[in-house]
Structure 1
Amino acid sequence: MSDWLTSLPEAAQTYLDGQRLDEVECIVSDLPGIARGKAVPASKFARQKHFHLPDSIFFQTITGGWGEAADEDGFIEKDMLLRPDMTTATAAPWTGDWTLQVIHDAFDRHGEPIPYAPRNVLKRVVELYHAQGWKPVVAPEMEFFLIARNLDPAQDIMPMTGRSGRPAAARQAYSMTAVDEFGPVIDDIYDFAEAQGFEIDGITQEGGAGQLEINLRHGDPVKLADEVFYFKRLIREAALRHNCFATFMAKPIAEEPGSAMHIHHSVLDMETGQNIFVGPQEGETDAFFHFIGGLQKHLPSAIAVLAPFVNSYRRYVRDHAAPINLEWARDNRTTGIRVPLSEPQARRVENRIAGMDCNPYLGIAASLACGYLGMMEKQRPSAQFRGDAYEGETDIPRVQGQALALFEQATDLHAVLGEDFARVYSIVKRAEYEEFLQVISPWEREHLLLNV
């Protein structure tokens, strides 16, 4: 092996043990979270220190269109420098040959980080925490559906058929039998995750038909965002092996619950390693309440990032396992902000707002940004909510246009995430939203065509 191969992460070295590496996929996340990049022969990768992609990949909408988000130089598609982060090197075990994936960071020609590259946005927020002597820790939960192959967008999405030969049924939350229905897919998910060096904390059946949840162990925000980014591809590939699709849409099936990416947060003191949400007598600290207050105050402006598509807002439905407001409570899954049961040193705050369709880098960055602002502003939360929060008032934007308007006015949030990121994100999402508004839906044709 050459020097660079011997310095790979342990899981990648184990994967390649006794094998000849054929190819390296050099990838970067765009705004929606799609992996963009190049596949190069291993021999070429060994010789290159970086590669180039045009900055326009960050101006592209989910439909392949473009937002006019270039800087004062105009839309000239300037080259970026993409440099590998070799700590992210991991297997692509579903490929026909021996392939590694490596996440790259994006820089301009002067060596400055591209401010609207999602991984750079998250790194910026983490660095703001570090400047205060804080180390943020997160644990994401990933919900998704396994569905029957859907080749016609005009057709409704249907649950996949399990090993029993029957379509998956809803309302089987936490059923081990339901998990067993998808056993072959789950086996491949476990195998791929092991080959990639990822530790799964657990897999459960959620409340939707064919809906599963994977929990990841808590850790560094950038590392965990990398894993979610990788996991989305891993899960899709495992599903395709078994004649079904995996979807991370926030609301793929009308009558079923949506899919969330719940984010658990805690913050450590970098000098002592102690959880700053825990006081000397193991009580709840001012920082704990300020973090919650920051989520309550700033999440409405951040929801455009946590719920990035028109479909995202279909998830926030009363009594459908998704929050409709930003109340907070201990051990209460009806609130948008939850404090789970835990030992004092594991005290954490769970943001239940983010959809699984969000870019993991941007979703975690936006959530951390709200908590950071709360701690810096010493924001106090409302009183703890008692009872069923679905009976309360809705204070979450119901459509993407409303959420974007709030985001565009949030200069304090822009200062944390980066003004240039906020500018580009808004332009690209406005372009997507305008494109959607020109689509006439079946509901409109059914109820308006002959009746108005």
Structure 2
Amino acid sequence: MTSPTGSTPAEAQDFLDAHPEIEAFDIVLTDANGIGRGKIIRRHELTGLYESGRHLPISILGLDITGEDVHETGLIWDSGDGDLRAWPLPGTLVPLYGTNPARGQVLMTMHHLDGKPMLSDPRHALARQVERLAAKGLHPAGAFELEFFLLSNERDAEGRAQPARAVLDGRRSAKTEVYSVDHLHGMEPLFSDIYAVAKAQDIPAETVISEYAPGQYELTLNYRKALLRAADDLVMLKRIVRMQARRHGVTACFMAKPIEAYAGSGMHLHVSMLDDAGRNIFSEKPGETWSPTLLNALGGLSRTMAESMLVFAPHANSWRRFVAQSYAPVAPTWGVNNRSVALRVPTGDVKARRIEHRPSGVDANPYLVAATVLAGIARGLEEKLDPGAETTGNGYEADTDTAMPADWRMAIEAAGASDFLKEALGPDLHRTFTAVKQAEYLRVARTISELDYHLYLHEV
């Protein structure tokens, strides 16, 4: 049958002709937690993948963070765990770098056997929101920022994660070293390989900085006119960073808060909106302070933020990132050129006017984040929502009328009851995602941790 994604056997054959050295391929499907699941296939299987897709079990989209089945998703025994068909995404067939033997990679999406989208696949949720806006003559563009830690493969004497030694000379720093260029030089061999792979995969990786914690870094991505491709970029870049870090003997960590004493890692999404003529509708006109469409978009995002926080902070560890004065927002505030708010309007050329959405941790699924952000913007534009007064100065001291979830459990409850989130993700994915999160919450809640013993073993 014809691929519902638009991929063609000619793409596969052209790639094989251009890369005779590649012997195998990672085929990668992204689940609700953002985890890449799939198979490694041999070179001779690639053309068949593009001709007929690849059967994968439906349960692959109903797994928790550990890979265990979550029966409440309805994706396991309700359907007898039957096979569906995954298809390649055009433009994502790329070489890996430094593998021996040489391997390639291609991203996949799940479809029913008749070719219809399998709606528990997170990428389809984003595609649906993009299509919804396109029907109104609007086209979202954007890019993600990737913050992460490079950690040692060994814990310290107390069992805690510690920053990695520089791969260049083995030097270890316990300083914050934010924006230190010299500090970056110690990881130069690793970042050089990351840039080389990104170039080979057509991933527009740009600036790298030393971030606001020992061992923390940020990589930025260039803007894409198609937000679907921007989310693909982030998925692929995380795989590049993780693989190359491992090859250099360190661990790339995408936990939101791996070290308790320091700032966590975010995944900020910059988004603008173009009309059919390519004009940015967020750009203000001469004489305007701010475009009404920009304000309405901010209004939609702020009004829907509380019930959407499970998407932006999906794990128990995610909630440890939200600390005042830590560059992680704690309220649905907006402001201009202000990094203490949740919705930042960067300064710069009016034609490039955009919203920087800051609540998401790097542990969030970029497809779900982008789908939810677009749905919030659409809600604001449709209902002409007012974002309220701009927050100036310290956003951590701002008063807001919106009650945000205080913790993971409250976020799970808010997401489960949210009609907005059900529309943003689609009913099928909403059920899948909230069921997975509830199962993970129960796993954490019943686990006896080392902290329990430390606090209570000899005291109660």
TM-score by length of 2: 0.92
Of 45, 65, 70, which residue of structure 2 is paired with 1:67?
70
Who is 1:139 aligned against? 143
| 1:424 corresponds to 2:429 | no
8 Å contact from structure 2 (residues 58, 76) kept in 1: no
After TM superposition, list the pairs within 5 Å mapping 1:10-409 onto structure 2.
Answer: 16=19, 19-48=20-49, 49-68=52-71, 69-70=73-74, 74-150=78-154, 155-162=159-166, 163-219=168-224, 220-270=226-276, 272-281=277-286, 283=288, 284-392=290-398, 395-409=403-417
Who is 2:11 aligned against? 4
Deviation at 1:170, TM superposition (A): 3.3
SS in structure 1 at match of 2:279: coil
Q: Which moved more, 1:320-329 or 1:257-266?
A: 320-329
8 Å contact from structure 1 (residues 27, 103) kept in 2: yes
SS in structure 1 at match of 2:37: strand
Amino acid at match of 1:52: H
Cα distance in structure 2, aligned partners of 1:161 and 1:99: 28
Cα distance in structure 1, aligned partners of 2:368 and 2:177: 31
Cα distance in structure 2, aligned partners of 1:50 and 1:418: 24
Deviation at 1:310, TM superposition (A): 0.3
CA 1:396/1:155 → structure 2, altered by over 3 Å: closer, same or farther? farther
8 Å contact from structure 2 (residues 163, 214) kept in 1: yes
SS in structure 2 at match of 1:329: strand
Deviation at 1:216, TM superposition (A): 0.3
Amino acid at match of 2:63: Q
Amino acid at match of 1:321: Y
TM-score by length of 1: 0.93
Deviation at 1:236, TM superposition (A): 1.0
SS in structure 1 at match of 2:91: helix
CA 1:385/1:448 → structure 2, altered by over 3 Å: closer, same or farther? same
Deviation at 1:165, TM superposition (A): 3.5
8 Å contact from structure 1 (residues 316, 398) kept in 2: no
Deviation at 1:110, TM superposition (A): 2.7
Q: Which moved more, 1:284-293 or 1:91-100?
A: 91-100
Q: Deviations over 1:78-116 (max 9, x none)?
A: 211111123111111132123221112211123210111
Cα distance in structure 2, aligned partners of 1:293 and 1:243: 45
8 Å contact from structure 1 (residues 90, 100) kept in 2: yes
Cα distance in structure 2, aligned partners of 1:262 and 1:450: 43
Amino acid at match of 1:392: A
Cα distance in structure 2, aligned partners of 1:228 and 1:122: 14
8 Å contact from structure 1 (residues 66, 431) kept in 2: no
Cα distance in structure 1, aligned partners of 2:66 and 2:427: 25
Q: Deviations over 1:133-177 (max 9, x none)?
A: 100011110000000004799821000112453323332111101
Deviation at 1:333, TM superposition (A): 0.4
CA 1:115/1:150 → structure 2, altered by over 3 Å: closer, same or farther? farther
SS in structure 2 at match of 1:365: helix
Cα distance in structure 2, aligned partners of 1:386 and 1:42: 57
Cα distance in structure 1, aligned partners of 2:319 and 2:338: 22
8 Å contact from structure 1 (residues 370, 413) kept in 2: no
Any stretches of 5+ residues in structure 2 without a counterpart? 1-8
Amino acid at match of 2:100: G
SS in structure 2 at match of 1:74: helix
8 Å contact from structure 1 (residues 282, 344) kept in 2: no
Amino acid at match of 1:62: I
8 Å contact from structure 2 (residues 391, 398) kept in 1: no
Deviation at 1:383, TM superposition (A): 0.2
Deviation at 1:376, TM superposition (A): 1.6
8 Å contact from structure 2 (residues 69, 76) kept in 1: no
Amino acid at match of 2:22: L
Identity %: 32
8 Å contact from structure 2 (residues 150, 251) kept in 1: yes
Cα distance in structure 2, aligned partners of 1:336 and 1:124: 25
Cα distance in structure 2, aligned partners of 1:350 and 1:3: 39
Any stretches of 5+ residues in structure 1 without a counterpart? none
Amino acid at match of 1:419: P
Q: Deviations over 1:173-217 (max 9, x none)?
A: 111011112112111111211222222221111011111100001
